[in-house]
Structures are given as C-alpha cells and as structure tokens.
Amino acid sequence: MKFIVNGGKKLEGEIEVRGSKNAATKMMVASLLTDEECVLENFPRIGDAEITKELCELVGSEVKNEGHILRIKTPNITNFRVTQLSRRNRIPILALGPLLARTGKAEVPILGGDKIGPRPVDIHLEALKALGARIETDEN
C-alpha cells in the first residue's frame, strides 16, 4: 500500500489537534479513583468516550461536556456492577482496578475483542490477582 500525493503547491495553514483517543478513555476510567473533579482539556469527541461516559455514569460519575473540555466527578461509587452497556468496547476491564480500590468489589463484562480480533484480558486479571484480588468469572 502507498499514498500518492499530487499537488505542486506548498502546504500551509493551521489545524487544531485534539487529545489522544486512546488516552482520553483511560483518563476517564482513572478519574474513578478519586472523589475530586477531574478536568480533561482538549478532549476528543469520539464514540469510545461516549461508551466510557456511560460506564462512568453507571457507577456514579457526573460527566459534563463543555466543548472540548470534559469534567468528571465521582463523589461516591454508587454501583460496583456494570452488567451491560448499550454499546461494546474493551474499556470495562480497566474499571476493575478503580472499582476495587474504592469499594472492594467490582463486576464488569469481559469484552475481549473487536473488529481487529481477539484482545486477551488475562494480563489485567493477573495484575489484579498479584495485588490480592480474588477473581471469579461466570457465563455473563
């Protein structure tokens, strides 16, 4: 595969680069570790962030989008169980650590794949076991 660019003109202009898609959702999940407000600036407006917002709100977060600023606050974890989401991505497995840290319990769906293929979650589970967590899985 290759790209062929025909132009003959000098490229010039400005573009605004948003924050990292991969970092944005992880920072939202990391915010579950504190009861303080977290402000994420230059936040990208992406589908995965909407799924992560749904997850965070299910466990007790207050999430506000203000342009490209996302404010998230979780004063209390009101629900340590995330049994289903309206859409799928692999983010729920990352919520195990923060939920365990704040409540001592956590239940999330194990979604270990996407269009690219299988994405094992065993490294996440092994890390939590090494920290003392007892992991149980069921058909759900």
Q: Which of the residues are catalytic? A: 114
What is d(CA 23, CA 42) in angstroms, rounded to the nearest whole number?
A: 12
C-alpha 63 chain-centroid distance:
13
Tokens of 108: 């999330």
Amino acid identity for residue 96 in this structure? L
The DSSP-derived string for the chain is --------S------PPPPPHHHHHHHHHHGGG-SS-EEE-S----HHHHHHHHHHHHHT-EEEEETTEEEEE-SS---SB----SS--STHHHHHHHHHHHHS--B-----EETTEE---HHHHHHHHHTT--------
